[in-house]
Chain A
């Protein structure tokens, strides 16, 4: 399977999602709706297959009635936002000190070999994107990785295998 890379990749938002976005905006006082931008970017990124195209960002600017550059500025500053297409699943492995002390390097290498992908890359079949992350606040339970909203902790090669199988079987929520 190949990922379709198109610039016109604006997600179509359901009425339910639009209501959710309105709910986020209403959490801020009148005239301060720009404050909602980060959370809205999280929502639309999920709807858009796990990444933000310029087109998707323009849509957020329209929703909030702000300049597109104000959205680009934010999307490029925060590391959670993907500005390029990603795989069905993203593994973000923590690489920071405390996790390194308990073997995160080995886990990263294991995943690289197992999936034949380098950090920053996506597997040829478009299934997995491998990224590293800085401390995710799970240092006592490392090595760990985040996939979707979930943390997978105390990782071993066997646990990584299980996770990959679960993804392949579609048991875990995918980006698209």
Chain B
């Protein structure tokens, strides 16, 4: 049994209420930080803990915090990114729904560290009931003196608010999130300036994922030294993984970073293997934007090492034979699935979600969707496969925000590892219309 830092008390009845949460050790990190530490010391501790941002990009949280500009007399803002829309990812919802005070506690300590007196949780609009849970918990925290003026007599003031989106994946990108919170369309901004200098309402701003902010709680409670004892050298602590697709038991699991991928997929404590006793065909380990791995690269790396659930091991082999931990959206494909169909499905997602500002992304995602749709329906030709690679190259690196890349990479990876499956759709057009490649052909490893 791995140690849990975030979900340890998740099954305690009524843990969503202040009193039960507090009885189970809640809000200790606020007392510790506000009474015994300076804001700089909190930042230092998070830096030492080597916490990597849990939203997908894995940028070190402490380092991000240290970039925050602090001009005299200008407010600073901490924004929690609860937009959670990356296909395969549903961990933040689970955390906020079940144990909302953990996020609130993390936001109080983090706001103190950054000097934010007004912080927001930006939550996707579809999670409206979760927003209500958060607001209820926030009201409790105000009533108990953990929010508002002069918290615990420390002289630190904090107001915490929740704001919903309206249905747009792109608002998870931090500058689009800021635009949306300003009441506008979610168009990402050109950087620089970075939010750390000019963010919400032109003021210095930090945007962090729900899980990153929640993780600040155990880091401050136990200290960075204890925290870094968990995990591997480069991937410290624990991570929430949301498992879905063709696994026996999908759901949100907290793992110690560094357990093996094999254990996670087949272990009793986790996914319990592939549903309906089928074989695994492919894995997208970190949300729809990361490269897909074929069966032979899932439990072992190309170098023959055990593949581990860590930032470095999942990326081992680069894009040629590796992938990324990303957001922890762990999508498993069984032998009956069609990679072309799924690649088309994801391409449609990105085409649908492109904000339309940059032509390579707006047009490119649409073309990829069309070409893939053609291939999937037996109307493609061999040149289409090269065309996809070409569109890919034209998008990559030529856009304002990373959504363009996020759309291009999965297509490139699918063709890299499953080219024969794409070609089969061209050479067997009638079969392609009739049914799934997987069902018709089975595994071809």
Instruction: Please determine whether A139 and B182 come into contact, CB atoms closer than 8 angstroms.
Output: no
Give the chain B neighbours of A149 by CB distance below 8 A. Answer: 128-129
**At the interface, yes or no: B181 with Cβ under 8 Å from chain A?**
yes
**At the interface, yes or no: B257 with Cβ under 8 Å from chain A?**
no
5 A-B pairs whose Cβ atoms sit less than 8 Å apart in the complex = A38-B125, A78-B165, A100-B342, A139-B90, A140-B250
Nearest A residue to B180, CB-CB:
A38
Instruction: Please determine whether B161 and A98 come into contact, CB atoms closer than 8 angstroms.
Output: no
**At the interface, yes or no: B142 with Cβ under 8 Å from chain A?**
no
3 closest A-B pairs by CB: A78-B166, A140-B250, A80-B167
Instruction: Please determine whether B180 and A137 come into contact, CB atoms closer than 8 angstroms.
Output: no
Q: Tell me the B residues contacting A by CB distance below 8 Å.
A: 84-90, 92-93, 118, 124-129, 161, 163-169, 180-186, 201, 242-246, 250-252, 288, 329, 331, 333-334, 337, 341-342, 345-346, 349, 352-353, 355
Nearest B residue to A146, CB-CB:
B126
Instruction: Please determine whether B329 and A134 come into contact, CB atoms closer than 8 angstroms.
Output: no
Binds B, one of A8-16, A27-35, A112-120, A160-168: A27-35
Instruction: Please determine whether B166 and A81 come into contact, CB atoms closer than 8 angstroms.
Output: yes
Q: Tell me the A residues contacting B by CB distance below 8 Å.
A: 27-29, 32, 34-39, 41-42, 70, 73-74, 77-81, 95-98, 100-102, 133-142, 146, 149-150
Instruction: Please determine whether A80 and B166 come into contact, CB atoms closer than 8 angstroms.
Output: yes
Instruction: Please determine whether B329 and A139 come into contact, CB atoms closer than 8 angstroms.
Output: yes
Give the chain A neighbours of B118 by CB distance below 8 A. Answer: 29
Instruction: Please determine whether A140 and B90 come into contact, CB atoms closer than 8 angstroms.
Output: yes
Cα(A102)–Cα(B246), bound, Å: 7
How far apart are A150's CB and chain B's nearest CB, in angstroms? 7
Cα(A133)–Cα(B341), bound, Å: 18
Cα(A31)–Cα(B172), bound, Å: 25
Give the chain B neighbours of A137 by CB distance below 8 A. Answer: 84-85, 89-90, 92-93, 124, 126-127
How far apart are A85's CB and chain B's nearest CB, in angstroms? 19
Instruction: Please determine whether B89 and A41 come into contact, CB atoms closer than 8 angstroms.
Output: no
Instruction: Please determine whether B87 and A135 come into contact, CB atoms closer than 8 angstroms.
Output: yes
Give the chain A neighbours of B86 by CB distance below 8 A. Answer: 135
Instruction: Please determine whether B342 and A97 come into contact, CB atoms closer than 8 angstroms.
Output: yes
Instruction: Please determine whether B185 and A38 come into contact, CB atoms closer than 8 angstroms.
Output: no
Instruction: Please determine whether B183 and A37 come into contact, CB atoms closer than 8 angstroms.
Output: yes
A140's contact among B129, B168, B252, B345, by CB below 8 Å, is which?
Answer: B252
A36's contact among B166, B183, B185, by CB below 8 Å, is which?
Answer: B183
How far apart are A97's CB and chain B's nearest CB, in angstroms? 5
Cα(A81)–Cα(B185), bound, Å: 13
Nearest B residue to A75, CB-CB:
B166
Give the chain A neighbours of B85 by CB distance below 8 A. Answer: 134-135, 137
Nearest A residue to B250, CB-CB:
A140
Instruction: Please determine whether B166 and A42 come into contact, CB atoms closer than 8 angstroms.
Output: yes
Give the chain B neighbours of A102 by CB distance below 8 A. Answer: 244-246
Nearest B residue to A100, CB-CB:
B345
Cα(A133)–Cα(B124), bound, Å: 13
How far apart are B199's CB and chain A's nearest CB, in angstroms? 13
B125's contact among A42, A73, A140, A150, by CB below 8 Å, is which?
Answer: A42
Give the chain B neighbours of A78 by CB distance below 8 A. Answer: 125, 165-168, 186
Instruction: Please determine whether B181 and A35 come into contact, CB atoms closer than 8 angstroms.
Output: yes
Instruction: Please determine whether B184 and A73 come into contact, CB atoms closer than 8 angstroms.
Output: yes
Cα(A140)–Cα(B84), bound, Å: 14
Given contacts A101-B331, A102-B246, A139-B242, whether A35 and B345 have CB atoms under 8 Å apart is no
How far apart are B142's CB and chain A's nearest CB, in angstroms? 13
Given contacts A80-B126, A140-B90, whether A135 and B185 have CB atoms under 8 Å apart is no
How far apart are B360's CB and chain A's nearest CB, in angstroms? 20
